[in-house]
Amino acid sequence: MTANEASPALSLTPRRGAAERLSRMIQVPTVSAEMEQRGVEPFERFVALLEELYPLIHTTLSREQITDLGLLFHWRGIDSHQDPAVLMAHFDVVPVDESDTWKYPPFEGRITDGYVHGRGALDDKGPLLVTLEAVENLLAAGFTPARDVYLSLGGNEETFGDAAEAIAKTFEDRRITPWIVLDEGGAVVDAPLPLVRGVSAMVGVGEKGATTVQLSTRGDGGHASAPPTLTAVGRISRAVQRLTPSTFPARTPAAVTRMLSDFAARSRGPARLLYRALAASPWLTARVFTSLGGEPAAMVRTTVAPTMFSGGTAANVLPSQASATINLRIALGESVQSTVRRIRRRVKDRRVIVTVLEGGEPSPESATDNEQFALIAQAVGISHPAAHTTPYVMMAATDSRHFHRFAPATYRFAPLAMSAELRATIHGVDERVSISELERGELFHRTLIENL
């Protein structure tokens, strides 16, 4: 069957056992942050498991190993001269805090009460599974896509590793510009903002830049019985205190304005007037979102989060050095360079050295008035008919950041419905995914690939 023949998306019957296959994936502890303790064996075992679970993908698509933890599958389409589609996912997961109490063991992959439980169920083995399920099912139906499709799978996304970066560079080196890139990101959510009614499929059209800086200083050591006015620890503490949430100005990205326009059209009464006013005034939006705090505030400005502090060797010894690690999520329209300049100005202390440990630039914004975004919305209409596809800015970092430098149509969306409670389990406790959502997610990808 080809892309021009009868549509298989609704008529095709997916093979059974998706929940069981995800359970087996979860049972392999691919914790990239614990590579030194666990070694590469879990990752090698996971790659071998994929070959067992998806035989048609491995016999029909070509597979390249890029770095130790990157896999790139190539599915040739009817017209290989067209720019291809790239579907991304990662198979590593974050660690589990041993002090946390889970309802079911995090790496057991328990299937019960309509859910698959375990670390990675939502981030990102569930989204990975529904992509592979769709491809395997289409291959079983004899389907060939209209254009080439690549599956880009990384094994060190959670540790900001180089697998996806190397895969993206492979595309650049081969002078291949993807027509669309789709990675993890937003989800199907209910009531995405206060007063908004209905279900929204939130598609990230841009993402903030993940950057880590270190503030460090040195001081005179000595006995703590006769301290100076400001010790090294005190100097760093003062510097951190000066980096308040208002350090960076608030600006409204175009994606947020488009999101508000969409919400205005779907709201009634005072809510419609509010969102219409915000959509018409980016300056007002920035002020309102800042006052709301949390995720709304993070959409419109660079965030500052001190995460680590060190200094000193003993309780009664003056520290000769001290440092603090600051995690920043740089807003769209700003840069690492401008962010560091502002930090130095705000700290106002030449004895505090600001060092960029890891610099990630924010992405450009992908369009929403193009065929690619319409394709995503069309697939959502089949998999989640009640949901309205809406753009937004993603605060977290994804592997797709390595593509957005040269692929203008890069989007971030996991086709799974997630309540606020479920979203809180990502990187947290009792992570799980609904079995019915695995079915809908597979249908989303099957529809998307069919309609390329």
pLDDT tens string for the chain (452 positions)?
Answer: 554 444 556 568 899 999 999 999 999 999 999 999 999 999 999 999 999 999 999 999 999 999 999 999 999 999 999 999 999 999 999 999 999 999 999 999 999 999 999 999 999 999 999 999 999 999 999 999 999 999 999 999 999 999 999 999 999 999 999 999 999 999 999 977 777 778 999 999 999 999 999 999 998 888 888 888 899 999 999 999 999 999 999 999 999 999 999 999 888 888 889 999 999 999 999 999 999 888 889 999 999 999 999 998 899 999 999 999 999 999 998 999 999 999 999 999 999 999 999 999 999 999 999 999 999 999 999 999 999 999 999 988 999 999 998 999 999 999 999 999 999 999 999 999 999 999 999 999 999 999 99
**What is the CATH number assigned to the segment(s) 209-358?**
3.30.70.360
Bridge partners, 112 (sequence order):
115
353's CB contacts (< 8 A; 6+ apart) are 215, 216, 217
Nearest to 416 by CA among 407, 425, 403, 408: 425
Per the CB < 8 A criterion, the answer to whether 328 and 346 are in contact is: no
Per the CB < 8 A criterion, the answer to whether 202 and 187 are in contact is: yes
Per-residue exposure over 280-305, b if at least 16 CB sit within 10 Å of its own CB, e if not: eebeebbebbbeeeeebbbbbbbbbe
- What the block records as the tokens of 33 is 């942050």
At residue 221, the pLDDT reads 84
Strand ranges of the sheet holding 111-112, from the earlier edge strand across to the other edge: 111-112, 115-117, 432-434
Per the CB < 8 A criterion, the answer to whether 174 and 288 are in contact is: no
**Fold type of domain 18-184+396-450:** Aminopeptidase (3.40.630)
86 CB-contact burial (10 Å; exposed 0-12 / middle 13-18 / buried 19+): buried
Nearest to 307 by CA among 162, 210, 424, 420: 210
Q: Which amino acid is at 164?
A: A
Please state, as a whole number, how many other Cβ atoms lie within 10 Å of the Cβ of residue 114: 11
Per-residue exposure over 21-31, b if at least 16 CB sit within 10 Å of its own CB, e if not: bbbbbbbbbbb
At residue 153, the pLDDT reads 98
The rounded distance, in Å, linking the Cα atoms of 108 and 23 is 7
At residue 122, the pLDDT reads 98
Give CA 176 to chain center in angstroms.
23
Nearest to 42 by CA among 26, 27, 29, 23: 29
Give CA 419 to chain center in angstroms.
17
Which residue ranges does the chain devote to CATH 3.30.70.360? 209-358
Q: At what angle do helices 371-383 and 435-450 cross, to 10 degrees?
A: 140
Which residue ranges does the chain devote to CATH 3.40.630.10? 18-184+396-450
Residue in this structure with the two tokens 């375990």, named with its chain if needed: 118
What's the pTM value of the predicted model, to 2 decimals? 0.91
At residue 3, the pLDDT reads 46
Nearest to 180 by CA among 377, 329, 386, 438: 377
At residue 4, the pLDDT reads 45
The pair phi, psi for residue 289, each rounded to 5°, is: -65, -35
Per the CB < 8 A criterion, the answer to whether 229 and 313 are in contact is: no
